[in-house]
């Protein structure tokens, strides 16, 4: 057993999650039917409903909203993974490359690509009406998930050009001429995207913002009159781009949003791409986007039998957002167009969108019928070869297929030569984690409501007690305490985390060599043992948790923090001498809990993972060690150093990455 000393005392994490009240113990035989508890679907559905039902409820005046608006916008940019993107005039040059022109009746199509970031190229077609004598309004058309992208959706920019708009249609990183990745968590097991704080929706929004930069530079465009529209993924992007960039003066998203309450409750989210929701650090819903768009004109188009977006929930969005427009005194600037059918456009919505843009960007008041519909006759449809941008091949340095590895700036390895530097770094890590990884947990923890579920004189020298306590609303957990010393004496307690799908007696065997002065408590956090769920549900749970601002691992850390706090209230436990022992993926939970608790004397880790920046199984089964945004500030191999000078015992196979902590600890131990 290799031992590393780790720090035992430093300030407790603010997470008032840990503050709790004790209720009176009630004997198990007094209860006949246990209350419903420990159902992960019920928990996540409730969490989603609380987010949806409480959006914007505290905003009752325009001055009150304006005080929050800047902060809300900053938070949105962060949740779209754009906190590191260069703002304003410091943006890199677009380096627009033109590869051809197609003349059509009444307009031309310029084939081009631009660099939204160095090496990140965006293929696009620019539709420009003929005979422009003064700058025209422009519309950014953002594609949905159709494979052929600008080919499939070409009738829409064509119609807009015929109406007199300049229209730029851009391809996503997932489809079209270059195939990058939207389906990281969805299909590839790249759940480390959550740990990175990365959403492909952020790349798409950034590419759209740079598309607006391109339009604004064109002499044919009036940069003060730009709009955005699209369907499905393009619909959600219309929300994001308009909320992020005030240059958008009118927005018409189609089948691109519904409430989080509906998405999780009905599981329609299971059909949605990873780009459809931001990293939900601050637990927002689309009402928040609508508030950032207000008071600019917003037309929401939604089909009434959309398999991905429940019409009733879209009505909720509309009614909630309209309250913000009422505060601005322009309720007429928001409208909802409902159409029959599934996840698609309809002539009703298309005509309404055309009339909407004519009114709000050209000051032309026409009826939808007068604005007209698109023409999809084959004679007007161009082929993929005709619209192809990369006629000479894809740029050699194109990063589209690897942008997920560099879009978000990750943590570094700071040089630490003394305890003051270590203390400072530790504080920065904890402060970051409080708001960006564990911010979804309650500010005021519920009472423990402790119960003595079972007791016996067997199982340990002085018997065993099974206590239960409330970790969080909806979760009652059990801690199985084995008294190896007289319960009347306050002795150290080692909390042993059981693993998902572990063999019988595996935890007992793991901790069997522990010194006799330690009493032992076995804990099953949610997702483990009787608090677990069907493995086939794991994929959904991992994505739904992230959509509500959590992950399985962060929920488990919270459970362990609550268990530590609860165990400190037990007779026979020295509250200053708590340890944690864990194996494999549960070492992640143990290390973060020890860091956040701040007063664990000892941590025993066997076979810890090398990093949280690693993929999982494509079907979502197995270890779920991701935590929102954590890799932006730290990684597992740094945590032992951050716990110095308490004691950590590393057992089994210890990845080489942990040498970073070992080196720091050795140097600090000699000071």
Topology of domain 2-20+445-669 in CATH is Rossmann fold (3.40.50)
* pLDDT for res 32: 44
Q: Indicate the pTM of the whole model.
A: 0.93
* pLDDT for res 589: 98
Q: Is the pLDDT of residue 107 over 60?
A: yes
Phi, psi of 452 (to 5 degrees): -90, 105
Phi, psi of 336 (to 5 degrees): -125, 125
CATH 3.40.50.1820 maps onto the chain at: 2-20+445-669, 52-405
Burial label, 328 (beta-carbon count in 10 A; 0-12, 13-18, 19+): middle
Q: What is the pLDDT of residues 303-351, one digit of tens each?
A: 999 999 999 999 999 999 999 999 999 999 999 999 999 999 999 999 9
* pLDDT for res 423: 95
C-alpha span between 3 and 654 (Å, rounded): 12
Confidence band (pLDDT; 50, 70, 90) for 488? confident
| CATH superfamily membership of 52-405 | Alpha/Beta hydrolase fold, catalytic domain (3.40.50.1820)
Give which of 621, 625, 526 is closest to 39, Cα–Cα: 526
* pLDDT for res 443: 85
C-alpha span between 66 and 316 (Å, rounded): 23
* pLDDT for res 88: 78
Contact 200, 174 (CB under 8 A): yes
* pLDDT for res 646: 87
- Report the Cα 458 to chain-centroid distance in Å: 46
* pLDDT for res 35: 57
């Amino acid at each position: 057993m290799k031992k590393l000393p780790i720090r035992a005392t430093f300030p407790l994490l603010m997470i008032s999650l840990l503050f709790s009240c004790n209720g009176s113990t009630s004997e198990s035989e007094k209860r006949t039917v246990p209350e419903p508890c420990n159902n992960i679907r019920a928990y996540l559905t409730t969490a989603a409903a609380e987010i949806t039902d409480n959006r914007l409820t505290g905003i009752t005046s325009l001055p009150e909203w304006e005080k929050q608006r800047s902060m809300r916008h900053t938070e949105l940019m962060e949740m779209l993974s754009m906190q590191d993107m260069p703002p304003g005039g410091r943006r890199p040059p677009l380096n627009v490359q033109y590869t051809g022109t197609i003349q059509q009746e009444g307009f031309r199509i310029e084939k081009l690509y631009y660099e939204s970031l160095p090496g990140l190229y965006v293929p696009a077609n620019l539709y420009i009406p003929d005979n422009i004598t003064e700058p025209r309004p422009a519309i950014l058309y953002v594609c949905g998930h159709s494979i052929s992208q600008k080919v499939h959706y070409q009738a829409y920019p064509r119609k807009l050009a015929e109406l007199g708009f300049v229209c730029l249609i851009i391809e996503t990183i997932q489809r079209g001429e270059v195939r990058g990745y939207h389906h990281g968590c969805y299909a590839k097991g790249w759940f480390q995207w959550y740990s990175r704080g990365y959403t492909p929706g952020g790349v798409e929004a950034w590419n759209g913002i740079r598309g607006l930069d391109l339009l604004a530079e064109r002499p044919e465009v009036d940069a003060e009159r730009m709009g955005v529209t699209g369907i499905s993924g393009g619909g959600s992007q219309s929300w994001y781009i308009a909320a992020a960039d005030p240059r958008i003066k009118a927005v018409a998203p189609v089948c691109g949003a519904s409430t989080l309450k509906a998405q999780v409750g009905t599981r329609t989210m299971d059909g949605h791409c990873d780009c459809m929701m931001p990293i939900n650090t601050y637990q927002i819903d689309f009402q928040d986007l609508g508030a950032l768009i207000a008071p600019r004109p917003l037309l929401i188009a939604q089909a009434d039998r959309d398999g991905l977006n429940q019409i009733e929930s879209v009505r909720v969005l509309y009614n909630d957002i309209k309250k913000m427009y009422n505060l601005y005194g322009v309720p007429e600037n928001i409208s909802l167009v409902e159409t029959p059918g599934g996840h698609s456009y309809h002539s009703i919505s298309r005509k309404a969108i055309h009339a909407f843009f004519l009114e709000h960007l050209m000051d032309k008041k026409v009826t939808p019928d007068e604005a007209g519909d698109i023409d999809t006759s084959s004679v007007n449809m161009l082929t993929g070869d005709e619209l192809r941008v990369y006629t000479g091949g894809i740029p050699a340095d194109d990063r589209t297929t690897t942008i997920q590895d560099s879009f978000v700036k990750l943590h570094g390895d700071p040089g630490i030569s003394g305890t003051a530097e270590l203390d400072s770094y530790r504080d920065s890590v904890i402060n970051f984690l409080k708001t960006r990884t564990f911010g979804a947990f309650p500010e005021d923890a519920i009472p423990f409501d402790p119960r003595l579920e079972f007791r016996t004189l067997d199982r340990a020298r002085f018997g065993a007690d099974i206590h239960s306590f409330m970790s969080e609303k909806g979760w009652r957990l059990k801690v199985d305490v084995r008294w190896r010393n007289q319960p009347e004496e306050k002795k150290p307690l080692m909390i042993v985390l059981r693993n998902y799908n572990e063999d019988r007696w595996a935890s007992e065997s793991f901790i069997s060599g522990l010194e006799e002065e330690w009493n032992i408590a076995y804990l099953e956090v949610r997702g483990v043992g009787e608090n677990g769920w069907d493995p086939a549900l794991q994929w959904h749970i991992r994505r739904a948790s992230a959509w509500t601002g959590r992950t399985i691992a962060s929920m488990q850390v919270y459970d362990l923090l609550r268990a530590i706090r609860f165990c400190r209230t037990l007779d026979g436990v020295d509250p200053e001498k708590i340890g944690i022992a864990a194996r494999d993926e549960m070492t992640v939970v143990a290390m973060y809990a020890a860091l956040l608790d701040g007063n664990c004397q000892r941590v025993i880790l066997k076979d810890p993972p090398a990093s949280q920046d690693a993929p999982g199984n494509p079907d979502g089964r197995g270890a779920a060690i991701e935590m929102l945004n954590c890799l932006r500030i730290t990684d597992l191999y740094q945590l032992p150093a951050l716990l110095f000078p308490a004691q950590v015992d590393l057992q089994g196979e210890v990845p080489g990455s942990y040498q970073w902590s070992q080196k720091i600890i050795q140097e600090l131990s000699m000071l």
